[in-house]
Structure formats: C-alpha cells, structure tokens
Amino acid sequence: MSRRVNPICIDDFMNRQLTERTDILECAWHKRQQEDGGHSEDEETKHRDGHARGDLEEEEYLAPPAPRVKTFSIGDDWKTRERSPNEFEHISRWRALTVYLSWVTLIMFAYVREFLRNWGLETSHIKIELGKQKHFVPLFNDFEAVYQRNCYVRVRDVFERPIGSTPGAKVSLLDRYTEDGGWTFKFPGTQTEVINVGSYNYLGFAQNKGPCADAASTKINDEGLATCSTVHENGRSISQARLEALVAKFLGVNDAICFSMGFATNSMNAPCLVDKHSLIISDQYNHASLILGCRLSGASTKVFKHNDMKSLEKILRDAIAYGNPKTYRPYKKILIIVEGIYSMEGSISNLPGIIELKKKYGAYLYLDEAHSIGAMGRSGRGVVEYWGCDPNDVDILMGTFTKSFGSAGGYIAGSKKVIDHLRVASPTGYYSSPMSPPIAEQIYKSMSIIMGFDGTNDGEARIERLARNSRYFRLRLKQLGYIVYGSNDSPVVPVLIYYPTMCGFYGRQMLARGIGVVVVSFPATDMTEARVRFCVSAAHTKEQLDTVLNAMKEVGRETWCSSFSSHKQLYEKMKIEW
C-alpha cells in the first residue's frame, strides 16, 4: 500500500531546507551542523562547490589559487580603522518630476528643430546620405541621431576639450570657439591654463619631468617605441616582463599579465573565463568594458542592485536552486563581477561582504580595480588592502595603469594557472601589440616609488596626500549644500546637479573661473542624475582645492543647485581640517 504524501507539506519542507542552507544572515545551516557534529568545514565547502562549480576538469581554468604568496602585511590599525560609508542622498519626487519635465521639453524642442531643418527653415549642418542611398537601411538609431544633433552638439564645447600640456594639477587647454552652434570649432592659437580636476591623475605621476619621465625616455633608446608585432609572434619586451613580475609582487599573488589597453583587458578576457554554461552576476553600475565582456562571453548574465548584498545573495541562491533555465542543468561556473571604486558613483564596493557570499556559494570573484589600485589602501594596493582582505580570496584581480600610474594599459593578476590560461587563450595575444617599452617603464618606475623601492617615502606621501585631499574636498562640498555621492575615502567626487541643461552651464562657468571639470549626463548616468565629476589628485594643493570650492560656491549661488541637500545643517558647523 503506497503512502499518501501531502504535496503542500513537501513544498514547505523544501522551502525551509533551502532557506536554512542559504540564509547568510542567520547561518542556520552552519550552526546546526556544528551542533550536530556534522561535516567539517572543508567537506561542506567541497559540497557547495559541487553545485556552482561542477567538477573542476581541465577546461575549468578558474581553479582555486595556488599556494598563497604574500609580500606585504596589513597592520591591525589599518584593518580596524574607521571607514566612511557610501552615501546616496536622493531628492524628492517633486524635484525628480521637474527633471523629467526638463527632459521632455528638451526632446520636444529637438524634434521642432528637426522639423524646421527638414523644411529648410533652419540651416542644416547634418551630414546626409547620397540621394541614391536613401533606400538603404539606416546605420544608426533615429532617436540617438536626434539626441546627438540637438542636445549633445549644443553643449559640445564642454566636452572633448583638446589639451596642450601634461595633465597634472594644472593643464593648458587649447582655446576654441564656435560660430555654428557646436558643429565646428575654430582655434585662435592660444591656450588657457586651468586647475585640472577632470583627469584620473590620482597620485600625480602624470609628469614630464622627474624619475618616471626620465626612466621612460631612457627606455626608448634601449628598446624603442614598439615591438611591431603581437605577443605570440614576436614575444613581449623585457620591460613588460619585468613589469608583470612587479605587479604580481605588488598585489601579493602568484602571477600577472599586462595588456596595452585597459578597456580591452576587460572586454577581451572575460570571454576566456566563462562560456554559455556559466552565469555572470554583475553590479548594475559596472563599466562598459565589463558589460561588453559579459556579452561577448555568451554566458547568462544577471544584474544585482548596486553594492546590495541581499540582492546579490538572492541571485546566487536562485541560480543554485534552479540552475540554468535554458538547459535545466546546474551552471558550471558562477562569476561575480564588481569594481573597487565606481567611476560615476564614487562608491567603494563592499568587498568583505562579497567575498563572504562568494565563499559560501562557491562562486568566483572578478574585481576591477581600475580606479582603486594605487589610490586606496595604506600602501596603494587597492580596496583589497583598504578592507584588510586577503588578495588570494579574489580569483581575478584586474586593474588599469591609466589612473594612478600616469600611463596606459591594464593587468590581470591571480593564480598562475589562471594567468597561464590567459596567456594562451586571450585574443589580445593574437591580435594586438604588447605594451610599448617606455609605457611599461613608466608604470614600473611609478609602482616602484609606491612600494618604496627608490629608497624614499615619496609614494607613501602621495597616498596620504590623496586621502587628505579627497576627504577635505568632499566634506567642504557637503558643507556648501551639494549632494555628493559615494564614500568620503574615494577620490572620485560626483556632485549631483540633476538637470541636463545644467551640464553646459556648469562646464562653461567653471571654465570661465579657471577650472577644468567633467560634466556627465544621460546616457552615461540615469536620466535624473546629471552630475559634475571631480577627480582629486595628490598633486593638488590645498590652495587649489579651495579655489575650486570657491568657484563651486559662486556657481551654486547663481543656479540654486547647492540647495538640493537636506543634510546641509549636519556640516555647517563642522570644523573641516586638511
């Protein structure tokens, strides 16, 4: 006689079991296992790995790292020091509605001007197809073209500004003017020197004089400017080989590989790590290079809310519980992709929480430290050091040399098995040139200074000065009443101005006051979150930062944009010291 089982009871039982095994807040499963004297931690980890990673066969290149290599120590004082939280103050719904109305008005006028051009009532500077090509399928989206012609071109003068000097604390901009609404520019041949708060020159190594510049120029005489071939055809330069060894030592991992382009480091190598049987879990504000890499990989991609551990855990839990909906089988690999510092938000990733979830669910972690390497941590080793984490807990450490090191290119570091796989499988080894020797030497020298190999404390002083500048500048902006996103420890300082029309106004008004800034709007940000983005540098003096702050104060008074923050009273009487 068969036993009758209530299906509702089975569902309740399965839900309870799933919740017990995946609730990271209560950790009920682990607690019960310890009380019952169940499996050891190693056996439990192995059991979890079987769900997310599958059998680690030879094609599973994202294997756990080889024996740990640690070339530096993080003091207890650094691990326990207070860290500034990420702040995202939001405006009221009424204010957000007015921002949307400004967009509607802007788009309406754009289509009115399109109508006037089509009927010959306004001079048209648009490049159009030949008459015999009118029946061709359009090469680009019609709305994007309308937006570009009528919105972007009108404020084009605040973008794409050509420079005529080294982008240090100050930079010389080539003067230009337009007589046709931004379609073309004329150059009178003069230059204007401005305070540069738009470049990613975090540690101030963008110099044309000094030890880094001297070493790079000397390397031209020794190795030339380029190898004129790919890595697999003619090999890499001696300078690049030395740099890769130093990067691995700097990060405290087994091996590293360097590339000549930072964007391609993400977009071309992510497809080498996952395939269509894998799942990528990506932060919603990840960089375009990471998004392109996810698309090229063919893997399933799910997006979690920015820096939200509950959202990330829910996706991990569901991925393990339900598997791949296309094949109805478990995912072979789950790869979490996050950034160290988010370039538009100024926020710092919650690396300890992500590592905890990664270990619990047996997933892999890809960390993009483009904006954090060199700029964060007591000795410049990024958010891994900032949080006091073990670099070997991150499977893929990625970063670029265009920010803190004043050069170009990118790197990927991790276990030797992963790096050996990338040396063979990465398309960059077949279709792009290796690093230029003087560029590699610039990075090698600046990194050596950061590590103190030059016998001075110059690198340590730059890191400390950057931290002081970042915190001082951020708090003073909040004191003025501006809404500033991100953490006070971040050198990326986005100031929210919300209205798209304010981008052109702020860019022009700040330039008139001798300040070169970056203004950003849709589609690089959300439609209601246009902003002015400052990048603080160790090369900036307190006097230069005060000049920028005074300019922001003046422009804010003219536009009432400094009255957005409802937390201004918290900083009005605060004594802010540099």
Task: Give the tens place of pLDDT for each residue, 486-525.
Answer: 999 999 999 999 999 999 999 999 999 999 999 999 888 8
Which of these three, 436, 451, 466, is where a domain ends? 451
Provide the 10 A C-beta neighbour count for residue 58.
6
Co-location of 415 and 356 in the same domain: yes
| pLDDT band at residue 61 under the 50/70/90 scheme | very low
pLDDT mean over 181-191: 94
Between the alpha carbon of residue 69 and those of residues 18, 197, 249, 398, the distances in Å are: 37, 37, 8, 17
Determine the angle formed by the axes of helices 309-322 and 7-22, rounding to 10 degrees. 130
Query: Is residue 380 domain-resident?
Result: yes
Contacts by 81-88, CB closer than 8 A, 24 or more apart: 83/348, 83/386, 83/387, 83/487, 83/489, 84/471, 84/487, 84/488, 84/489, 85/487, 86/307, 86/345, 86/347, 86/348, 86/485, 86/486, 86/487, 87/484, 87/485, 87/486, 87/487, 88/345, 88/347, 88/485
For residue 574, pLDDT over 90 is answered with: no
Q: Which residue has the tokens 């860019």?
A: 507
Tokens 């509702």 sit on residue: 8
Domain boundary among 408, 428, 451: 451
Could you tell me which residues are beta bridge partners of residue 486?
Answer: 87
Residues 228 and 324 in one domain: yes
Q: How many structural domains are present in the chain?
A: 3
Residue 5, in any domain of the structure? yes
* Mean pLDDT, residues 345-365 taken together: 96
Least confident of 14-18, 293-297, 331-335: 14-18
User: Is 93 inside any structural domain?
Assistant: no
Considering the domain boundaries, does residue 83 fall inside one? no
Same domain, 311 and 352: yes
- Reported as a pLDDT band with limits 50, 70 and 90, residue 73 is very low
Same domain, 164 and 280: no
Spatial CA neighbour of 415 closest among 179, 175, 255: 255
Query: Is the same domain home to 304 and 342?
Result: yes
Q: Kindly state whether residues 219 and 278 are assigned to the same domain.
A: yes
d(CA 484, CA 476): 10
pLDDT confidence of 554, banded at 50, 70, 90?
Answer: very high
pLDDT digits (tens, 9 = 90+) for 237-256: 999 999 999 999 999 999 99
pLDDT for the residue 141 = 67
204 falls within a domain:
no
This prediction has a pTM of 0.85
pLDDT category at 14 given cuts 50, 70, 90 is: very low
The pLDDT of residue 544 is above 80: yes
Residues 430 and 465 in one domain: no
- Kindly state whether residues 380 and 253 are assigned to the same domain: yes
Tell me the C-alpha distance between 194 and 133, whole Å.
46
Between 72-86, 473-487, 520-534, the lowest mean confidence (pLDDT) is in 72-86
Average pLDDT over residues 435-461: 96
- 346 shares its domain with 247: yes
Q: What is the Cα–Cα distance from 267 to 274, expressed in whole angstroms?
A: 12
Residues 529 and 547 in one domain: yes
223 or 562: whose pLDDT is higher? 223
d(CA 389, CA 387): 6
Please name every residue paired with 87 in a beta bridge, in sequence order, or none if there are none.
Answer: 486
Residue 77 lies in a domain: no
The pLDDT confidence band at residue 138, using thresholds 50, 70 and 90, is: confident
Calculate the alpha carbon distances from 478 to 192, 431, 432, 565 in Å. Answer: 29, 47, 45, 8
Give the end of a domain, one of 423, 451, 479.
Answer: 451
Q: Do residues 34 and 112 share a domain?
A: no
Residue 504 forms part of a structural domain: yes
Task: Check which CATH number belongs to the domain holding 540 and give it.
Answer: 3.90.1150.10
Which pLDDT belongs to residue 137? 79
Under a CB-based contact definition with an 8 Å cutoff, are residues 492 and 203 in contact? no
Which pLDDT value is given to residue 289? 96
Query: Which residues constitute the domain of residue 7?
Result: 1-72
Residues 430 and 470 in one domain: no
CATH assignment of the domain containing 421: 3.40.640.10
Supply the pLDDT for residue 125.
Answer: 83
Q: 538 in a domain, yes or no?
A: yes
